[in-house]
Amino acid sequence: MKILVTGGAGFIGFHLTRRLLEEGHEVVGYDSVNSYYDPRLKESRLNILKQYDRFVFYRDQLENHERLSQVFKRHRFDTVVNLAAQAGVRYSLENPLAYVCSNLQGFVNILEECRYNQVGHLIFASSSSVYGANKKIPFSVHDCVDHPISLYAASKKANELMAHTYAALFGLPCTGLRFFTVYGPWGRPDMALFLFTKAMLDKKPIQVFNFGNMLRDFTYIDDIVEGIIRLIQKGPVVPASEWDGMNPDPGTSFAPYRLYNIGNNHPVTLKHFIDVLEEKLGVRALREYLPLQPGDVPETFADINDLIEDTGFKPATTIEEGISRFVDWYRAYYALDRQEEASGL
Q: Cα angle at 150 between 109 and 147, to 5 degrees?
A: 95
311: number of Cβ within 10 Å: 18
Instruction: Tell me which of 152, 166, 220, 257 is the catalytic residue.
Output: 152
CB 62 within 8 A of CB 13: no
Q: Which of 7, 158, 14 is nearest to 86 (CA)?
A: 7
> What is the strand order of the sheet 79-82 is part of?
55-59, 26-31, 2-6, 79-82, 121-127, 174-179, 257-262
Annotated active-site residue 152? The verdict is: yes
Strands (E), the chain: 2-6, 26-31, 55-59, 79-82, 121-127, 174-179, 182-183, 205-208, 215-216, 219-220, 257-262, 268-269, 286-289
Which positions are annotated as active-site residues? 152
